[in-house]
Structure 1
Amino acid sequence: MSRAAEPADHTSDVVIVGGGASGLSLAHQLAAAGRLDFTLVEAPDGPRRPPERTWCYWDQNTGGSQATGDEQDTGDLQEAVSASWSRLRIHPTDGRPVTVDPSPLRYRMLRSAEFERLVYSGLARSSGAHVLRATADTVRDTADGAEVRCTTPEGRALTLRARHVFDSRPRPLLPPARTELMQHFRGWFVRTDTDRFDPTVADLMDFRVPQPQHGLAFGYVLPLSPNQALVEYTEFSRTPLTTEAYDAALTRYSRDVLELGAHTVESAEQGVIPMTDGHFTRRVGRSVFRIGAAGGATRPATGYTFAAVQRQSRAIAAALRDGHARVPPPHGRRALAMDAVLLRALDTGRVDGPDFFTRLFRRVPTERLLRFLDGDTSVREEWTIGLRTPIGPMLRTAVEVPFLPRRARPAPRIGESHR
């Protein structure tokens, strides 16, 4: 049975620091493996605990059957899924929508509360799982492993010792990068007085909003029922907005573009995700590793994170079962090189962001494009996708990027990506 770690020094095989998407995902995988004794350190109730978040990803539409192959990355999360969509839509700036069928993939949404319940139900069945509500103060190597020094809600100091520590806490400094944008967003969960949404279609990018000087902006609509949806305003730009500015943008989008009419905002969520071509170090000590966004799981040019976290968690759990610790790179070198070029092209304005993404969804088979965004395409497929982009500006940027200096910048206050 899962149990809270006692308020005394504790030794286990593994300590996981942080109870966000990556920490919970690794705990979920270790509990399913059932071979290791591990402790999950979560922040106590209060300002350090994030509010409820939304995560989205796409996977194979298995129709409830047992997942196989790559589907296993997310196939065990189905009972936590809140909604899913069989069609995706892009609205270019001219307003003529592009509706696509990503079959055999399906776009899925889960809320952090449901995900937490799923994970904790697995921890409750695992004799090796421990959960500690405490603030992790320091993480360091020791002669025979690593230790995490914590402070309990009552103010007591506690030391956890383990063979390996996997730390998912946000980094205080981002790695030096040539280009850095922020994906920043605010979303409203709205309920309209009359039916306004098509629950079968998710609006992935709606560019019918004013565009920033650098980067791009779009609306994002996930219908939950004919009169309920998550309506979000997102920017890829250099500087986040104030909450008041996000709310003003959402008000204009809901009123002037979506024409929702009378509606109620039932809750809101907000976040900032770095989009950077910096190199994220995953191993920071002999026995200490960074995971999740802190370990580079966020796809630099899109902000997609959740599916990469699932792949990484499975790989870590498999390595530990084999008797060694490793954190594989969440994204391949080709994907990161292409992202570095696209980030620079967006930041310099050499490519028009709305036109770039609209062109891809119009000209590239959707299933292939989504696999590309997940880093799961061949060189040949990537070549055919590249031919659908503005070749001249992209080539010019590709030649320039290797010679750009890398600069360190402070990390923003990071929210968890909805992707």
Structure 2
Amino acid sequence: MTVDVDLALVGGGGAASLVLAALGRAGVGGLRVAVVDPVHKRGQDRTWAFWGRPGTFLDPLLSASWDEVDVVTPARRRVLSLDPLRYAMLRSAPLYDLAAGAEKRLDATRLTAPAGALADDGARVTVAGPDGTPLVRAAWVLDSRPRRPDRPGVTSWLQHFRGWWLEADRPTFDPGRAVLMDFRTPQPARGISFGYVLPVSDRFALVEYTEFSPARLDGDAYDAALRDYAALLGLDLAALRVREVEDGVIPMTDGPFTPRPSARVVRLGTAGGATRPSTGYTFSAMARQADEIARALAAGRPPVPAPAYPGRHLWMDAVQLRALDRGLVDGVAFFDRLFDRNPADRVLRFLDGATTWREDLTLMASSPLLPMTRAAAEVVNENRSARRRPSH
């Protein structure tokens, strides 16, 4: 039997959980909601790190937050005050629990099944299973399933990482300050690597190795990199326990995504453009768009959020990615210079798409001019060539 609803969430991960939580906060009443996902997300399956102003609904859910962070290069350790922002860590279990409570209050229908094609006739959307059997008919569908860009970008990199949750029997970590980026790790031939440390307490912390580069590492390379980084931090792994392991891969590409593929289908998460091409950060944009969707539904408007980032920021990201990919700039020096010549909150607000034109010009002026100009010209030429190629 096909379920008939006002709103269907296809995919039940972070993006859908934020929407459910936002609907709960907005007090949307009488809305028939369905969630379609083969897995009902629970527990600690991932960690989000993000920055923003304190005083939001997320505060009670956070595992930790920091007013200062370190950015470390081989030459120096820079301590950055984030005021008026803060850097925060959110583990998945509290968000999933909050979403589950909202889902119950909304009396939502949950279909623990994979979704296939979406058929939009302009008035309703039919969500079918993989075999074509109709599962749900909805006035609107929010689809957060991962997907590739509509076409390859000029540059296609990945943010890929592995982290160890380390537990100690005695005070080992400084819970008052996180390490945002530590570039003392060996740098890949093509790309950027860094470690970071997110301490929950003086005895428990997430220690992670991350690369921005074209491809994932092979075999045990992540573990080897983490062992080396732990040694660099002076950590005695023999005296620590690895309680959990987190892996992830996030696209960093200027390839275009279509956030609204049809009249009544809206894509969320990476597929909806929420991932910042220059860093892979996604969470803050997902949270903003979830709030916009809930406010729109509460006001009786279509649940269509604004673009996650201004077009000029996406252009700047494309140029940055091209410059890094072609080796026109040194990645470590680029980020070191960015934080050296700008207040930390300006850099972080830029990465959230919240800076003004004037601030963007200041950020551009702090980048090496000639290499970035060359990268910009290459992006323009590549995009022109792509538009001239016949589609298949």
Alpha-carbon offset, residue 49 of structure 1: 9.0
The equivalent residue for 1:147 is 126
Residue pair 2:32, 2:106 contacting (<8 A) in 1 also: no
Q: TM-score, structure 2 length as denominator?
A: 0.91
Residues 273-306 of structure 1 show CA distances to partners (whole Å, capped at 9, x for unaligned) of 1100011101112222211111110000011110
Look up the equivalent residue of 1:22 and give its one-letter code: A
Deviations 1:140-174 (A, max 9, x none): 213631011237xxx99562110111110011565
Q: Secondary structure at the match of 2:320?
A: helix
Say which SS state the counterpart of residue 171 (structure 2) adopts.
coil
Q: Distance in 2 between matches of 1:101 and 1:117?
A: 32
For 2:202, give the aligned amino acid. Answer: P
Kept in 1: contact 2:149–2:256 (CA 8 A) = no
CA distance in 1, matches of 2:78, 2:5: 52
Q: Residues of 2 paired with 1:17 and 1:317: CA distance?
A: 16
| Conserved? CA contact 2:10–2:115, under 8 Å | yes
* 2:249 aligns with one of 247, 261, 272: 272
- Aligned counterparts, 1:53-132, within 5 A: 53-62=46-55, 75-94=56-75, 96-127=76-107, 129-132=108-111
- Helix, strand or coil: the match of 2:119? strand
Conserved? CA contact 2:18–2:95, under 8 Å: no
- Matches of residues 290-369 of structure 1 in structure 2 within 5 Å? 290-320=267-297, 321-369=299-347
Q: What is the rounded CA distance, in whole Å, between the counterparts of 1:202 and 1:159 in structure 2?
A: 45
Displacement after TM superposition at 1:190 (Å): 0.5
Quote the offset at 1:93 in angstroms: 2.4
**1:90 touches 1:204 (CA, 8 Å); kept in 2?**
yes
Check conservation: 2:192, 2:211, Cα contact below 8 A. yes
Match of 2:36 in 1: 41
Distance of 1:137 and 1:243 partners within structure 2 = 33
Whose RCO is larger (CA < 8 A, sep 6+)? 1
Q: 1:181 aligns with which of 157, 160, 163?
A: 157
Q: Does 1:9 align with 2:2?
A: yes
Aligned counterparts, 1:162-311, within 5 A: 162-172=138-148, 175-255=151-231, 257-261=232-236, 262-311=239-288
Name the aligned partner's letter for residue 320 of structure 2. Answer: L
Which position in structure 1 is the counterpart of 2:390?
none
CA deviation profile, 1:38-57 (whole Å, cap 9, x unmatched): 11122236xx9997000111
Mapped contact 1:93–1:354 kept (Cα < 8 A): no
Larger proportion of strand? 1
Q: Secondary structure in 2 aligned to 1:345?
A: helix
Using the TM superposition, give the Cα deviation of residue 244 of structure 1 relative to its aligned residue in structure 2, in angstroms.
1.2
Partner SS for 2:151: strand
The answer to whether the 8 Å contact 1:100/1:366 transfers is yes
- Could you list the per-position Cα deviations for residues 107-151 of structure 1 after superposition, in whole angstroms to 9, with x for gaps in the alignment? 111111111011112222234x33332211222213631011237
Relative to structure 1, the CA distance from residue 77 to residue 130 in structure 2 (aligned partners, 3 Å threshold; closer, same or farther) is farther
Q: Is the 8 A contact 1:16 1:27 kept in 2?
A: no
The answer to whether the 8 A contact 1:214-1:349 is kept is yes
User: Scaled by the length of structure 1, what TM-score is found?
Assistant: 0.86
Comparing 19-28 with 212-221, greater Cα deviation is found at 19-28
Aligned mates of 1:384, 1:79 — CA distance in 2: 36
Identity %: 45
SS in 1 for 2:362: helix
Counterpart-to-counterpart distance in 2, 1:330 and 1:234: 24
Equivalent residues of 1:282, 1:327 under 8 A apart: no
Structure 2: give runs of 5+ residues left out of the alignment.
Answer: 388-392
Structure-2 separation of matches of 1:326 and 1:290: 9
State the match for 1:397 in structure 2: 375
* Aligned length in residues: 381
| Number of the residue aligned with 1:160 | 136
Post-superposition offset of 1:325: 3.8
Aligned equivalents of 1:355, 1:234: Cα separation in 2: 17
Measured in 2, the distance between the counterparts of 1:403 and 1:43 equals: 43
* Mapped partners of 2:373, 2:79: distance in 1: 29
After TM superposition, the runs of 4+ consecutive aligned structure 1 residues lying more than 6 A away are: 48-51
Q: Secondary structure of the residue that 2:215 maps to in structure 1?
A: coil
Give the aligned CA root-mean-square deviation in angstroms: 2.2
In 1, Cα distance between the equivalents of 2:344 and 2:280? 18
Mind listing any 5+ residue stretches in structure 1 that lack a counterpart? 1-7, 63-74, 409-419
CA, structure 1 residues 289+61, in 2 after alignment: closer, same or farther (shift >3 Å)?
closer
